[in-house]
């Protein structure tokens, strides 16, 4: 009898050890999300970041089994929304559309915010997209080519007003870098801060702005409608979606820059929660719905998982510091 008791005890220990080491799926390790999720977008509705976020939210709901609500929190050139995302509870119920501005704002020393978040203040989940800047004017404008615009700016400093985001944002850097590459003072085409590309394009249509340096993707509906004219793209090569639009490099200006967007969680989020979102976002990005949406927009898809996205953000932070210094937009 004692023999069988000892055998039973040994078997029980072995079973418990096996159960303890048996790999469980991430969804079984943590009960996240257990309630609706907020997806913070640091720019206005209608812009590129918002449009991608809303598609991600719809598809993410299917993977997570919880509602995902897009919340636009604008202000401070995107830093208000980023700050809200950075300081949210790391419990998996607040996620963030992290954007290029994270690698830029702290170089600007934007002291109107108590604390400027950087890439280090977030837990990366996935890079989704990269889009180059463009140069857009109203279709009624006298400028038919980029040369026309730059000649005017050089001869009439201060008269052509540009926008696309807040001061020091990625599209502001696009403007400054382009002017510097053309040998024109950065302040010859002043920047008017806006809440995003969508707002700036509307101001362009009514004549309160003259140039928008946001991505051509964000201006495509107006470009296709014949209301906006694209003069150039700041990409390394022409975009197949805009084959007639030349690059700055083709026009003799050695400069290129673009915006990136990805999904991030607050700093301190556990590896288990990150794994849940990594799996879900990976399925979203590979889905036919997402691929078709990005292609039709057209937004460029560039996917990187948590580790790669973290390295990418660190590299972009260093690069933007150099570019901003060269463009003369750092303080």
What is the token pair recorded at 13? Answer: 């220990």
Percent of the chain residues past pLDDT 70, beyond the cut: 89
- Residues 152-179 have a mean pLDDT of 92
Residues sharing a CB contact under 8 Å with residue 105, sequence separation 6 or more, in sequence order: 76, 77, 78, 79, 82, 116, 117, 118, 168
pLDDT-derived band at 16, boundaries 50, 70, 90: very low
pTM value is: 0.75
CB 70, CB 39: distance < 8 Å: yes
Measured CA to CA, the distance from residue 283 to residue 304 in angstroms comes to 13
Hey, how many other C-beta atoms are within 10 angstroms of the C-beta on 178? 28
Residues sharing a CB contact under 8 Å with residue 109, sequence separation 6 or more, in sequence order: 116, 330, 331
CB 134, CB 175: distance < 8 Å: no
For residue 167, what pLDDT is reported?
A: 79
pLDDT-derived band at 5, boundaries 50, 70, 90: very low
Q: Say what angle helices 288-296 and 48-64 make with each other, to 10 degrees.
A: 170
- The predicted-structure confidence for 83-138, as pLDDT tens digits, reads as follows 999 999 999 999 999 999 888 888 876 544 456 788 999 999 999 999 999 999 99
* Whether pLDDT at 223 is above 90: yes
CA nearest neighbour of 73 among 22, 36, 39, 110:
39
What is the token pair recorded at 222? Answer: 């107006």
* Whether pLDDT at 328 is above 60: yes
CB 164, CB 177: distance < 8 Å: no
CB 136, CB 228: distance < 8 Å: yes
Measured CA to CA, the distance from residue 187 to residue 105 in angstroms comes to 19
CB 176, CB 234: distance < 8 Å: no
């Amino acid at each position: 009898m004692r023999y069988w008791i000892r055998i039973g005890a040994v078997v029980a220990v072995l079973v418990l050890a096996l159960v303890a080491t048996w790999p469980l799926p991430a969804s079984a390790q943590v009960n996240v999300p257990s309630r609706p999720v907020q997806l913070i977008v640091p720019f206005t509705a209608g812009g590129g970041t918002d449009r991608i976020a809303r598609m991600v939210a719809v598809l993410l709901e299917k993977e997570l089994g919880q509602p995902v609500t897009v919340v636009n929190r604008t202000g401070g050139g995107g830093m208000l929304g980023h700050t809200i995302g950075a300081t949210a509870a790391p419990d998996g119920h607040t996620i963030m559309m992290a954007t290029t501005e994270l690698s830029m704002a702290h170089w600007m020393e934007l002291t109107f915010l108590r604390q400027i978040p950087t890439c280090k203040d977030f837990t990366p989940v996935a890079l989704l997209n990269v889009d180059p800047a463009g140069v857009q004017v109203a279709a009624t404008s006298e400028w038919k080519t980029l040369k026309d615009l730059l000649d005017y700016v050089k001869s009439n400093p201060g008269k052509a007003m540009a926008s696309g985001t807040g001061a020091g944002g990625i599209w502001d850097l696009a403007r400054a870098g382009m002017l510097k590459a053309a040998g024109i003072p950065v302040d010859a085409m002043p920047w008017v801060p806006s809440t995003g590309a969508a707002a700036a394009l509307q101001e362009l249509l009514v004549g309160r702005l003259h140039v928008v340096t946001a991505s051509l993707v964000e201006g495509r509906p107006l470009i296709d409608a014949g209301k906006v004219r694209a003069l150039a793209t700041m990409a390394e090569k022409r975009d197949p979606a805009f084959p007639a639009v030349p690059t700055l490099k083709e026009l003799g200006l050695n400069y290129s820059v673009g915006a990136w967007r990805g999904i991030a969680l607050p700093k301190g989020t556990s590896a288990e929660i990150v794994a849940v979102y990594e799996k879900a976002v990976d399925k979203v990005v590979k889905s036919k719905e997402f691929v078709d949406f990005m292609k039709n927009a057209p937004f460029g898809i560039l996917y990187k998982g948590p580790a790669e996205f973290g390295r990418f953000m660190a590299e972009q932070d260093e690069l933007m510091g150099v570019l901003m210094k060269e463009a003369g937009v750092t303080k």
